[in-house]
Structure 1
Amino acid sequence: MRSALVRAVRRTAEGVRWYVRELTGESAYDRYVEHLRAHDPDAPVPSRREFERMRTDRQDADPRQGFRCC
């Protein structure tokens, strides 16, 4: 009984973590790195900071890319 409860709590926590990462866009960097390595393994991988700067610049250049309030 207790192990089932622990598994349920863990599964719920993992689901909440996934949802928050998707909602905040934090997982975008992980997906970008995965995509970059799959399509061009020799390409340099930008740091998270560089990635966020590129993403912000892209959104500023084309507001249809994503919603920005500030």
Structure 2
Amino acid sequence: MSGSTASAGGRVGPTRLFRLFRWIRWYLREISGAADYDRHCLRHLREHPDRPIPSRRAYETWRTKRREEHPQTRCC
């Protein structure tokens, strides 16, 4: 059975399980918005290296305020 995606005995190898776990974690972080804060921190460090990184709470407050002030960025 060369070329099979499963290892001997029909089990999935640890590498495939790790990749699946990583993908699930990435997906959940994307749909929950957790990754947005990480991207914001990276952009903040790049554009304002001399300023402290805002807390998660401060970021969420800013993001909510921005959404309310710019309703065209939402569908509803």
TM-score of the superposition, structure 2-length normalised? 0.77
> Partners of 2:53 and 2:26 in 1: how far apart?
23
| Structure 1 spans left out of the alignment, 5+ residues | none
The reply to whether residue 38 of structure 1 matches residue 46 of structure 2 is yes
TM-score of the superposition, structure 1-length normalised? 0.82
Aligned mate of 1:9, from 14, 17, 32: 17
> Partners of 1:66 and 1:34 in 2: how far apart?
24
Work out the number of aligned pairs and report it.
Answer: 67
Identity of aligned residues (%): 33
Structure 1 or 2: more helix by fraction: 1
Q: CA RMSD in A?
A: 1.9
CA 1:67–1:31: 2 relative to 1, 3 Å:
farther
Per chain length, whose mean CA-contact separation is higher, i.e. which structure has more relative contact order (CA < 8 Å, sep 6+)?
Answer: 1
| Structure 2 spans left out of the alignment, 5+ residues | 1-6
